[in-house]
Amino acid sequence: MSWLGRPISTTRLVRTYNASTVLRTLYEYGRCSRSQLTELTGMSPATITRITADLIKQGVVLEGGPGKSTGGRRPVYLHIDQSKLYVASVKLLRDDSQIAILDLEGRILTLEYLNPPSLAPDDLLDTVITSLKRSFESLSIKQEHIIGIGVAVSGICQPEEGRVIRSVNLGWVDVPIASILGESLRLPVFVENDANACALAELWLGNARDTKNSMYIKTESGAGAGIISNGTLLTGPHFVTGEIGHIPLVPDGERCRCGQRGCLETYVYFGDVQARYLLRTGEKVALSAFLQRVQEGEEASVKIVQETAPVLALACAHWGIPLDLDIITIGGFWGRFKEDIVEYCQRYYNTILEQSGIPSHATILGSSFDDNVDLLGAAGLVIDHWFTPFSVPFAR
């Protein structure tokens, strides 16, 4: 049996539809009385009483002090015990693999950069296992308090099996990550493409927390998109939903490594930005230096930003408008350019809507997070599975 989503003893209860709905509500609202839970979930008072009693018995939910009376009995507020539940996150990228332990609010408690002997699956995953065990021990976390392990991978993944179908970045083909990590660590493991994981980070912890329809555009280390529709991550039958990096946007644009011209990736992937800057100046520049030069108004770096803005604007409009999104997040360092990139994309998006008469609107923002977005995305992946029961009528 696969370790993908296998429930451990303390979380078997919360995988039921009713308990999962109650926990999702408590997670979103922070604390609620039983009567508020009845109103917000649509369940009967008897069902709420039974479910909350079971969750309290499991130690997952705590009762707080009584609130103010409105004429009857003073309500008792319930909240999730954050000290009892943790998430393990794994980021797998050729030059930047990491593990972290987080709480349910997305606070990183410990983070470790990995230095595997090679990128071969056995070597890298053995390093992940050793590092996670060391982190659990250093934080004195019991296994039953870890609700799952999320893995964000650069590549095409089969999330239902927890398997990497193909990762050009890592040089992997058909690697069953969930089975390998699950058998060693005895925990449920969830695996997803890194852009999809980042979209879940924004959904649960960031920009998209108050909306059900959003998109995260991954940049800097590549290009891709994670799309949330009606609160659910979209995946297609071939697991390539959001693979927008090599769909040409600019006729006769910059030559891409894939052989086409005008692909999004060649404008936003920093390795390609470095190559263009080197070609124009004769100098290879690091990311921090590139950002500094843009701030200083250096001509070559500013020109590259100006060339990238309309391409990202096209990407936002081409996928955001047909999907009728509320929030579009530009990830990576491009999202830090508020005026030159984010506001440019917003103006372009608004202009198309106004001129076409489409009655829609989306807010375009830079990411809520810093360089840890992939780890937060892996945590969001676990939270999403944990709070969403298997009986929800969407393909997952």
Whether residue 354 is predicted with pLDDT greater than 70 in this model: the reply is: yes
Residue whose C-alpha is closest to residue 145's, from 110, 100, 187: 187
Q: How confident is the model at residue 389 (pLDDT cuts 50, 70, 90)?
A: low
Amino acid code (one letter) for 305: V
Q: What is the pLDDT of residue 9?
A: 42
Q: How many whole angstroms separate alpha carbon 115 and alpha carbon 108?
A: 20
Residue 69: the pLDDT is: 55
Cα separations (Å) of 278 from 148, 240, 282, 283? 43, 32, 5, 5
* pLDDT of 7 over the 80 cut: no
Could you give all domains of the chain from N- to C-terminal order, each with its CATH number? 9-83 (1.10.10.10), 85-201 (3.30.420.40), 208-367 (3.30.420.40)
pLDDT one-digit tens code per residue, 297-328 = 999 999 999 999 999 999 999 999 999 999 99
Helix, strand, coil proportions of the chain in percent (round to 5)?
Answer: 45, 20, 35
**CB-count exposure of residue 71 (10 Å: 0-12, 13-18, 19+):** exposed
Confidence of residue 77 (pLDDT cuts 50, 70, 90): very high
pLDDT of residue 68: 64
CA separation for the pair 320, 327 (Å, rounded): 9
Tokens of 12: 């078997």
pLDDT (0 to 100) of residue 82: 77
Give kind and range of the element (H or E) at residue 275. helix 270-281
Residue 103 has pLDDT above 50, yes or no: yes
pLDDT digits (tens, 9 = 90+) for 250-276: 999 999 988 999 999 999 999 999 999
The C-alpha atoms of residue 68 and residue 61 are separated, in whole angstroms, by 21
Measured between alpha carbons, how far is 153 from 324 in angstroms, rounded to an integer?
A: 27
Identity of the amino acid at 155: G
Nearest residue to 143 via CA among 108, 101, 109? 101
- Look at strands 363-366 and 327-330 and give their pairing: parallel
| Cα 179-181-186 angle, rounded to 5 deg | 90
State which amino acid sits at residue 124.
L
Q: What are phi and psi of 173, to 5 degrees?
A: -135, 125
pLDDT tens for 12-42 read 554 567 887 888 889 888 899 999 999 999 9
Q: What pLDDT does residue 17 have?
A: 74
Kindly report, residue by residue over 271-299, the tens digit of the pLDDT: 999 999 999 999 999 999 999 999 999 99
The secondary structure of residue 74, as a DSSP letter, is P
Give the amino acid at 240: V
Is the model's pLDDT at 11 over the cut of 50? no
Q: Are 223 and 268 in contact (CB under 8 A)?
A: yes
> Can you tell me the mean pLDDT for 340-350?
98
The pTM for the full model equals 0.82
